[in-house]
Amino acid sequence: MPKLAQVDASWTLFLDRDGVINERVMGGYVLHFNEFHFKQGVLDGAKELFGKFGRVIVVTNQQCVAKGLLTESDLSEIHRQMTEELWLHGAKVDQIFAALECKGEAPFMRKPNPGMARLAKEVFPEIDFSKSIMVGDTDSDILFGQALGMKTVLIETEEKTNVQADIQIKELSQLSEYI
């Protein structure tokens, strides 16, 4: 099988959240951690996969905050519990960036716009987008990565996609086979 990239500690892994790390709530949102269910293989495979990269960054569109369905504090608590569970399985997430606005509204941080990647680069200036992989399950995730010159990986879900990623896999843990 052809390799996507020869990854080392100079590389950054960008991950979408819903549909990649946890099961997506189709037509809804994860509003409490008891609704957050890790996707198959994530907890078991994250230590090996995340350990290959210098940085692991989560970039997630969360318009449920702008819609008033949960607060920023509630979202932060979901993310704290998510990262704690990953940490307990030996996997470290360096930073989570969340776009909180509704589609089409300022400040235009939502993927496919590159705002969250630019914030990541401000926090971690060593990030080189040409040495980064974006993993997502939607067209906007893949377009986000492509616009920044990243390698792109599509996780197959029930979400219909039209944009071609560099590779397509069924679950995040399979990425280790390609790097």
Active-site entry in 16, 137, 141, 166: 16
Measured between alpha carbons, how far is residue 33 from residues 41, 83, 86, 87 in Å? 19, 12, 14, 16
- How are strands ordered across the β-sheet holding 132-136? 95-99, 55-61, 12-15, 132-136, 151-155, 167-169
The question of whether 16 is a catalytic residue gets the answer yes
Angle between helices 72-88 and 42-50 (to 10 degrees): 80
Asked about 44 being catalytic, the answer comes back as no
Catalytic residue among 18, 137, 139, 141, which? 18
Q: Is the peptide bond before 114 cis (omega within 30 degrees of 0)?
A: no
Active site residues: 16, 18
